[in-house]
Structure 1
Amino acid sequence: MPQKKEQSTKKKNWLYLNVTLRVFYSIFLIGVALLLFGGALAGGIGLGYFTFLIEQTQLPSKQEIKKDLGDVSETSQLVYSDESLIATIQSDLRRVQLSPEEISPLIKKAVVATEDEYFYEHHGVVPKAVIRALVSEVTGMGSSGGSTLTQQLVKQQILTSETTFKRKATEMLLAMEVEKNFSKEEIITMYLNVSPFGRNNRGQNIAGVQEAAIGIFGVNASEVNLAQAAFIAGLPQSPITYSPYLNTGEMKDSEYLVYGLQRKDFVLFSMFRNHDITQEEYEEALAYDLTADFLPTAKADTNNQGYLYYAVMDQASEIVAKQLAKSNNLSDENFLKEDIHQQYLDKAREKLAYGGYTVHTTIDPKIYEAMQATVTNYGYLLDNWAGAHIEVGNVLLENSTGKILGFVGGRNYNANQFNHAFSSKRQAGSAIKPVLVYGPAIDQGLIGTQTRVSDFPTSWGNGEDAGKPILNALNAGSKTFQTVRESIVRSDNIPANHIYQNTLSKMGSASSVYDQYLSKMNYPETPVWQYQSAPLGVAEISTLEQTNGFQALANNGTYLEGYLIESIIDSDGVVLYQHEANPVPVFSKAAASITVDLMRSVITDGFTTDFKSRVSNLNWQLGNADWVGKTGTTDENVDSWLVVSTPGITLGSWSGREDSKPSDASGGQRTANYMAQLVYAIYQANPDIIKTSDTFQLDPSVKSFNVSKFSGTKPGGTMTINNTTFTAPTETVTSYWAKNGPADISFKFGIGGTDANYNDYWKSVIPKPKVEEKKDDKKETEKKKDDVSDEKEKENNKEENKEETTEKKNE
């Protein structure tokens, strides 16, 4: 019985085990089926998504790919507006193209073993590596590697390092296209010719194995030994980190030099693992003292380029970078990210340097040379009495086109490479008032040229200076109501503040003036425009930005962005870029012409600048051109501005110390003296552009009104003050308005000011007793008294004479 029971138990256990195994087997089969189905589904979805990502990608031709990958290199150049040569474009990368036979097989083996061990087997993409990279991207786990040498070549030369699925899909598609059109030997040669390899012993950036071999070891790429080949092959992964040299050409300290040497050891191990070298060769190369082969520091080649070359290259590079980003369907937001933006700029510079392009500029060679000669010969006029060195930036714009005809980047490029025409940002000072204060207020129909504005002492109403007095350049207020024309001529801050605050209030927003006017002229977006102190010019802008705002006023209120690049054309005549005018109406023609008329008074009256008289002393005809403009000075005379226009051109000038320390109150006079010399030099170089025979005219839409000289309102009317009723003065003047017009007379007829201020102003015209007549009556009374005294004296004298005669007779 026990034995039968034991057998029965064994059968049951076997049955349970058998059932369990069958269940697990079934589950396994179901799992495999689901896995296969899921894999197929995922693959289908992945393939569909891949197709979606690349459906709009235009495949380039073999010739285009070849050119993009750097196999074709042509010299590019920059030219003036008359097609004469500015300079041949220099690349900051040192690079020499080699044929496959000129590159050591050791370098090729080292690169393949380290970067792409399946290079000679795949067709541009390794699927499992792509899946591994995709999983890593999604999960954040594992290595994100997966790019073949071909993909790396495409990414370096055609795309960017931006990490998006679309860019990766495009990279894979182009890599497969490269593999279809080029042999493996051609691909690895292109890769080695264009890849970055850090710095050489002169501190220069280098690309390509030839520059790496020559610049690090002093040998050709065909002559390197195994250790040298491994070191070079390891550089492209992180060129600056692994490079043995600093940007000065000096050797790195040992603690940083070790990174490149460790990378070299890893490359050697990869070659040994890949059976490219024997164990004996591997151990011998590991023991080799590579540091003894590093070249000593050498002096870099001198660069004789100046402000013009780099200004043109900066703008041209930005243009090409935007085009490259657009071709990759990159959003503006992503393009502006610092790292991505820099990658595109680097690619743009390389494309410009080696693409055989001609960059056509707007610069007039005669004008540009005349401006450089002026700053060289007369820049000293800007230096102050204490001997402080004053820097300067100037921009000359053609009003009708926005062309930058010439500029001054600074006093001496060799001494200071900072471009004060385009790059320097300084407080705008009172020179901002025409575009920020007067132009908008006139355009809104809030003021006319004879509108009265309070210049009574007042204080800041908010901010850290709340309660402190607002100061004019010469006083704390003239205790009267100035006309709009007087306030801009004198450049007083109190009236400008009242006008600006009134404009913001009427327009209904603290940012309204910036939004409707300054933003259209590419002034920088900053909260400063909302500050109460904005009319004093506290916002920081460049000389170009300041000058460009005046160009809009001189061009009937239409802004044309100042530009340097007219076109970029390749060696086959194909236009890569052509400037297209984009006129932006900012001010009405009426408002612009009225503001210009006000600025004529600034220059003609000479209250803040003697620019016109100084120009007239140099050339009478030039001095009689229709000059308009505005001055500007910041606190403690740190910055001095003068922007002037004629119907033909607008010329802006900033000057100040590089360290932003205070100067003296004579900076405006020195600026006027220097600018007179600059204008005269420009006139001698090209007299036609200034248009000395033309004059600014008020637009036909301008409204003219006869207004009370006293109040700026409609003439006539009576006013009662302190129970005294009298008639307002009847003298009238002409006031220009862009729209609307003067109001009727009222107690508070102007802009700004308190009731007490108006009361004082009205009292100034109340008839007063004739004080002088009283003085005359007093004099008449005194005269009569004197006459009476004289008569009495005569009578006394007669009596004395009579007595004397009697005495004589008695004798």
Structure 2
Amino acid sequence: MKNLKNKIYDFLTSGSKVSDLAEKSDESPFTFYCGVIYLTLHRIFHYAIVIAAFVLFLLVGFGGGYALGIVRQQSVPTVSELNQQINHSQNSATLYYANNVKLTKVNSDVKIDKASDSEITPLVKKAVTATEDENFYTHHGVLPKSLVRAVISELTGIGVQTGGSTLTQQLVKMQFLTSQTTWRRKVTEMFYAHKIEQNFSKEDILRAYLNAAPYGKNNSGENINGIKTAAQGIFGKSISQLNLAQVAFIAGLPQSPSIYTPYNSKGEVKKDISLGMRRKDIVLFRMYRNGDITKKQYNDAKKYDLKADFLEPKKVTPPKKQNSYLYNLLMNKGSELIATKLIEQDGLDVKEIKKDTNRYNQYLSNASDLLHQKGYKIHSTIRKPLYTRMQRVVKQATLGQDKTSRDFDQATNRWVNTTEHVENGSVVIDNTTGKILAFSGGVDFKNSQVNHAFDTYRSPGSSIKPYLVYGPAIEHGIISSKTALADFPKNFGNYIPTDYNSTIENRFFPAQEALAKSYNLPAVNLYSKLLHSNINLRSDMKKLGLDLSKSEYKNLGLALGGTDYGFSVADNASAFSNFYNDGKRQDPYYIDEITAPTGQIVYKHKQRSYKVFSEGTSYIMQKMLHQVVKNGTASSLNGTLQFDDSTLIGKTGTSNDYRDIWFNGSTPGITISSWMGYDNFYGHSYNLESNASETNLALWSQIANALYDEDPSMFKLENTIERPASVHKFKVLSKTGTLPGTVNFDGEDIDLTGKETTALSLRPAPRASAEFGIGATHSDYQLFYDHENGESNDYGHTLIYSGKTISKKHKLSDLFSAADGTSTNNEEYYGRRTNVNSRESSNTERQVRANDQQARSGQGGNNNAANNGNNNNQTANNANGSNSNANPTNTNEANSNIDSGNPNENNAQPNQ
């Protein structure tokens, strides 16, 4: 045979054919061929072993290196942090006002009563270790096979399984991590387990496990954690009083508490508890196999009638609901931020996960569970004294008439009596940091849980003018503070905007006065000029936190608040705050920090600043917006404020038919924004009274006074704003906004002289020009110059718009008539648009956002989704606090039309 092997090896190393070598061999050809096959396979087998060993070495090396990389990315907990979490951790989150002032401890959805070392009997220890971790007293926290299995699972794509985890690993998962079993989470789990084993005794670890493990439900239907709670809630006994069968049953519950628990959510014993009983028998068998009990004890415990020991159902008083505007705000946002952290810990892309609604909702659910079951701490920026005073002011204010009706509730399929109150949403923001210092979510949380400060989106009305129209015009040198803006009848392709009460002033206005008294037509003319100047308004608005679509910018009605979706009060306040922050806007925020139960910071707000306008533009806008308060649409504030208002700037806003009322007001330190309106549930279209703007200003004054009384320093009234070197200050003619001089109009030389005023601009003073204004036509200039020459004409005489559009039979002038008396100039109208399709599409998107917020709230029907200001069905609360479907007001006020006889006309509407 040896001779045969040598010949075969000769063959394998030579170039001879097998047939030639076989003929020369002393063995039979069959024997020779078999020998060749055997030795070939033998060699291949050895090669395979070597290759497999090499591959395994690479896998282990790669997996170990990868695991080490993950571990290095983890913040290393101290022994004190580990001890705090496994032995002294709270079972729910705590919410804080600013400056570490406690708001409330979140009601835990788990009942727990921890056991001491002396209460945990040897029988319990044997049952748990025999069932869950028979090597508990010999391993060092992690079994090597767990790491190998995790590496292979990750590399092969089979997935990571939890089977084989030690008790220490299970403790880590319960106290430090979520229940998800990704590769990164598994490696972190092993790392923590190893460190715990290094610093704590086995008895400490076992006690911590028994106090943290979930045991299903008790006879009151409550979720229970901890073996002491389980003994009391299932059998009504202390741990020391439990017999073998009872111990075995409880010891088996943590593997799958929801399945093995004997009780349902009502505290009633399930009809089928066979799975739990089978699990009990498995525990008994493992104890017997492990030598912890005798065969007789095993058999007797199996036959024991355990069902007879289960407690009868018991009703308990549910904990008081913690819903409030602030509580819901912090819990919802906290869940979002923790969910983001969990996604990042799993090495996934947050934006991609959010595209997968189901997957993202699972992370949100996990985050909500953590807040209700773990000792997280959420620190907000909301200052308790300011918040408390603000709630009191708003609740005591009289904002308008209640609207009562009888409506059909689709949710309950019955008719209900409903009462809607005038609602308010207000926000106080620090200009420099973006911190939300206080807010008012509504008049009465019991009546409506919609947070009107953050979750409703309403037409901003003319409050949009400073940062969409006048700010950019100043920034790009198109106007000075005294540039003349035209307020003459004008047709923009069947869009005929007017001022208050369908009037036209039929004259030129200095930009500062047009803004202060919020005339509409000058703003539309200026916005049209901006659009034709190819200025990237969308970029500036995004920096202000206001993301509008490209199509919205094409509509001139946007200059007067005609948006598709509208803005929240927080959005509006944040945008307006830039004027007292050198043209920079800070991202608004109300959660400053979130810490994990270990004390480690899992979220810390990072300030982001967006430069929108130059310091020069900010300075000029401050001077212009102060006139709004001094002698413009907010002049009723004069005499009502308990502080120096010389640095106060502001802007009013009113959507059509007094549907939405706004006021943004800023001092050098803070911005306070206030909105008023009805929710308009059930498809109602309630409008505010004509004096609603004055009511809102009075409310704003009361809020500002209360805040000033609490903390004057945050207003920073002592801050003096010096004129930047970039701002030119010069004298111009009041009537033209230019330097005096001789101009030629229609071949006639005209000397422009007269009263002068001080103007501010980023460019030098403009020279005299025949066509000096923005938005005027040749006939408008003719009217002006004829008036200057002493002719008696309609220049400066208020005209009233008939509401009709131009036809072949009519000229633009035919649509206006002289007004009787003088017009009131403290309100505005904005033009309506007729693009109903865009409104419908916005409803769908807004409803999705509303539903998503309600799903995240974790507060059930009492934490309503955002009222989105659109015609969509949404949960609301009637006067009795019951849930009802509603149709909130449509934010796109520009889409409707007051002239029912001409539904396709683009008529102008009020907008302050």
TM-score tier after normalising by the smaller chain length: 0.7 to 0.9
The separation in 2 between residues aligned to 1:491 and 1:112, in whole angstroms, is 77
Residue 703 (str. 1) matches residue 728 (str. 2): yes
User: What SS is found at the alignment partner of 1:491?
Assistant: coil
Structure 1, gaps ≥5 residues long: 1-7, 462-466, 774-811
User: What SS is found at the alignment partner of 1:511?
Assistant: helix
For residues 657-736 of structure 1, what are the structure 2 equivalents within 5 Å? 657-659=678-680, 661-666=684-689, 667-686=692-711, 690=715, 699=724, 701-721=726-746, 724-727=747-750, 729-731=752-754, 733-734=756-757, 736=759
Q: What is the match of residue 395 of structure 2?
A: 376
Deviation at 1:389, TM superposition (A): 0.8
Q: What is the match of residue 38 of structure 1?
A: 55
CA contact (8 A) 1:430 1:535 kept: yes
Deviation at 1:14, TM superposition (A): 4.2
Q: What is the match of residue 17 of structure 1?
A: 34
Q: What is the match of residue 5 of structure 1?
A: none
Q: 1:436 to 1:292 in 2, by over 3 A?
A: farther
Deviation at 1:713, TM superposition (A): 3.9
User: What SS is found at the alignment partner of 1:596?
Assistant: helix
Deviation at 1:392, TM superposition (A): 1.8
Deviation at 1:746, TM superposition (A): 5.1
Aligned pair partner of 1:67 in 84, 95, 100: 84
Deviation at 1:374, TM superposition (A): 1.8
Aligned pair partner of 2:780 in 751, 760, 770: 760
Aligned pair partner of 1:420 in 452, 473, 482: 452
- Counterpart amino acid of 2:204? E
**Identity in percent:** 32
Residue 430 (str. 1) matches residue 490 (str. 2): no
Deviation at 1:161, TM superposition (A): 5.3
CA contact (8 A) 1:96 1:211 kept: yes
Residue 542 (str. 1) matches residue 530 (str. 2): no
Task: Provide, for residues 105-149 of structure 1, a one-character-per-residue CA deviation record: whole Å limited to 9, x for no partner.
Answer: 676666656655654554322333443344444444477334433
User: What SS is found at the alignment partner of 2:652?
Assistant: strand
User: What SS is found at the alignment partner of 2:741?
Assistant: coil
Larger-Rg structure? 1
The separation in 1 between residues aligned to 2:458 and 2:489, in whole angstroms, is 28
Q: Report how many aligned residue pairs link the two structures.
A: 735
Q: 1:764 to 1:508 in 2, by over 3 A?
A: closer
The separation in 2 between residues aligned to 1:720 and 1:88, in whole angstroms, is 75
CA contact (8 A) 1:594 1:736 kept: no
The separation in 2 between residues aligned to 1:768 and 1:570, in whole angstroms, is 74
- Bigger relative CO (Cα 8 Å, ≥ 6 apart): 2
For residues 96-245 of structure 1, what are the structure 2 equivalents within 5 Å? 96-103=113-120, 116=133, 118-141=135-158, 144-146=161-163, 147-160=165-178, 165-196=183-214, 206-214=224-232, 219-220=237-238
Q: What is the match of residue 320 of structure 2?
A: 302
User: What SS is found at the alignment partner of 2:478?
Assistant: coil
Residue 27 (str. 1) matches residue 44 (str. 2): yes
User: What SS is found at the alignment partner of 2:426?
Assistant: strand
Q: 1:487 to 1:401 in 2, by over 3 A?
A: same
Q: What is the match of residue 821 of structure 2?
A: none
Q: What is the match of residue 645 of structure 1?
A: 666
Q: 1:494 to 1:299 in 2, by over 3 A?
A: farther
- Counterpart amino acid of 2:80? Q
Q: 1:233 to 1:496 in 2, by over 3 A?
A: farther
Which deviates the most, 102-111 or 623-632? 102-111
Task: Provide, for residues 659-696 of structure 1, a one-character-per-residue CA deviation record: whole Å limited to 9, x for no partner.
Answer: 46533242323322333333343444455655678777
Q: What is the match of residue 511 of structure 1?
A: 538
Q: 1:525 to 1:709 in 2, by over 3 A?
A: closer
Deviation at 1:478, TM superposition (A): 5.1
Deviation at 1:265, TM superposition (A): 4.6
TM-score between the two structures when normalised by the length of structure 2? 0.67
Deviation at 1:612, TM superposition (A): 1.0
The separation in 2 between residues aligned to 1:440 and 1:591, in whole angstroms, is 8
For residues 371-520 of structure 1, what are the structure 2 equivalents within 5 Å? 371-378=390-397, 380-383=398-401, 388-399=420-431, 402=434, 404-455=436-487, 469-470=496-497, 474-475=501-502, 481-500=508-527, 502-503=529-530, 506=533, 508-509=535-536, 511-515=538-542, 517-519=543-545
The separation in 2 between residues aligned to 1:180 and 1:314, in whole angstroms, is 38
For residues 241-640 of structure 1, what are the structure 2 equivalents within 5 Å? 250=266, 261=273, 264-265=276-277, 267-268=279-280, 270-272=282-284, 274-276=286-288, 280=299, 283-284=302-303, 288-289=306-307, 293=311, 295-303=313-321, 306-308=324-326, 339-340=362-363, 343=366, 347=370, 352=375, 363=383, 365=385, 367-378=386-397, 380-383=398-401, 388-399=420-431, 402=434, 404-455=436-487, 469-470=496-497, 474-475=501-502, 481-500=508-527, 502-503=529-530, 506=533, 508-509=535-536, 511-515=538-542, 517-519=543-545, 523=546, 530=553, 532=555, 533-537=557-561, 538=563, 539-562=565-588, 585-607=611-633, 609=634, 611-613=636-638, 616=639, 622=643, 626-640=647-661
The separation in 1 between residues aligned to 2:442 and 2:402, in whole angstroms, is 17
Q: 1:474 to 1:79 in 2, by over 3 A?
A: same
CA contact (8 A) 1:381 1:673 kept: no
Task: Provide, for residues 148-171 of structure 1, a one-character-per-residue CA deviation record: whole Å limited to 9, x for no partner.
Answer: 332233234334456654443333
User: What SS is found at the alignment partner of 1:705?
Assistant: strand
The separation in 2 between residues aligned to 1:656 and 1:133, in whole angstroms, is 58
CA contact (8 A) 1:457 1:479 kept: yes
Task: Provide, for residues 756-803 of structure 1, a one-character-per-residue CA deviation record: whole Å limited to 9, x for no partner.
Answer: x34333333236998889xxxxxxxxxxxxxxxxxxxxxxxxxxxxxx
The separation in 2 between residues aligned to 1:436 and 1:404, in whole angstroms, is 23
The separation in 2 between residues aligned to 1:373 and 1:545, in whole angstroms, is 23
The separation in 2 between residues aligned to 1:647 and 1:338, in whole angstroms, is 41
The separation in 2 between residues aligned to 1:625 and 1:69, in whole angstroms, is 58
- Counterpart amino acid of 1:447? I
Q: What is the match of residue 414 of structure 2?
A: none
User: What SS is found at the alignment partner of 1:631?
Assistant: strand
CA contact (8 A) 1:71 1:97 kept: no
CA contact (8 A) 1:109 1:271 kept: no
The separation in 2 between residues aligned to 1:80 and 1:566, in whole angstroms, is 10
CA contact (8 A) 1:704 1:734 kept: no
- Counterpart amino acid of 1:657? Y
CA contact (8 A) 1:384 1:664 kept: no
User: What SS is found at the alignment partner of 2:577?
Assistant: helix
Task: Provide, for residues 587-608 of structure 1, a one-character-per-residue CA deviation record: whole Å limited to 9, x for no partner.
Answer: 323212222222222223343x
CA contact (8 A) 1:196 1:239 kept: yes
Q: What is the match of residue 852 of structure 2?
A: none
Structure 2, gaps ≥5 residues long: 1-24, 355-359, 405-418, 794-912
Q: 1:100 to 1:94 in 2, by over 3 A?
A: same
Deviation at 1:390, TM superposition (A): 1.9
The separation in 2 between residues aligned to 1:42 and 1:509, in whole angstroms, is 54
Deviation at 1:651, TM superposition (A): 1.8
CA contact (8 A) 2:228 2:238 kept: yes
Q: 1:281 to 1:685 in 2, by over 3 A?
A: same
Deviation at 1:244, TM superposition (A): 7.6
